[in-house]
Amino acid sequence: MLLEFLKFNFNVYFRHMLVYITRITFGRAKRPKMEDISVLHVSRSFIVVNKRHDILINIDKEEGMSELPVSVENQLKTRFPHLVNSNLVHSFHFCHRLDYSTSGVLAVALTKEAAKEAMLVFQNRLTHKYYLALLRGHLDQEYTVINKGIGKDTRENFTHCMCTEDKGYCSFPKKAVTQIIVLQRGLYANSPATKVLLKPITGRRHQLRVHCNFIGHTVVGDYTYSNRRDLAPYRMFLHAYRLVLPTKLELVDVSTCDPFSEDDPKNKWTPLETLNTLDCCVFSEFPNCDVLKI
């Protein structure tokens, strides 16, 4: 078991480093720094930050390292040393996770009570999470709901991957539902692409990436689910845009700016057609779970 654990973590680390080095070299990505984190909300119960892409939430310092590795945990420890909880292995109560390559809203509880309240809200699916993404190709339908279970990919050399339940190599699939609204159709680096707003109803590992791949529109820059081919972009274009966390202690409702704007030349995004505007009204376009009968 120990050997398998070490092998798994080495493979994941190696793949992260391969993607990272390639994007630094060819995709004009910038190396993450300890100060690459912005605080969106602070209260007695929670800190909400805007996580940078291509950074782990926590990672242990290996023997021989001269400096702390850049992670969200170490960024928070550097900026808020007085809030570190020495009783926790990773210093803070992280309420949820974001993939290494995914940027955006990340909530951190500051007390044991807040962590418990957040856990209950997530377990009871009372949160509302919204993600922005650029997808390969043009989605025909303005609104799509994907109801397809997700499980572990049991193929050799795919130990860190997930897949949909229709695959013969899918192990222990669990129910997974994602809603998608098209914001714009256009071009990414002169190739057809679609900007979308996604709302996961469930919270399976890699859910949004797997579901987008399932419908034939992989997230731009998703190395893992593009059959390890999409390395040219400087990042994976998936971002946690808004989080609504209705706890008994407080209502946390935090959004970021749009990181995939056409105004930023490194995004290489050119919108050709706008179907929905990214404003406060667009969130009401998603039907609730009662309508979906989930």
Of 54, 99, 153, 230, which residue is the catalytic one? 99
Q: Where are the beta strands (DSSP E) in 137-176?
A: 143-147, 150-153, 162-164, 170-174
CA distances from 55 to 31, 69, 128, 164, 185 (A): 10, 10, 24, 26, 29
Q: Which amino acid is at 294?
A: I
Q: Which amino acid is at 255?
A: S
Q: Which two tokens stand for residue 30?
A: 């910038």
| H or E element in which residue 258 lies | none
Q: Where are the beta strands (DSSP E) in 169-208?
A: 170-174, 177-188, 191-200
3 state DSSP class of 53:
coil
Residue 99 known to be catalytic: yes
**How many degrees, rounded to 5, is the angle at CA 198 between CA 118 and CA 268?**
120
Determine contact, residues 219/225, Cβ cutoff 8 Å. yes
In angstroms, how far is CA 54 from the centroid of its own chain? 10
Active-site residues, by number, are 99
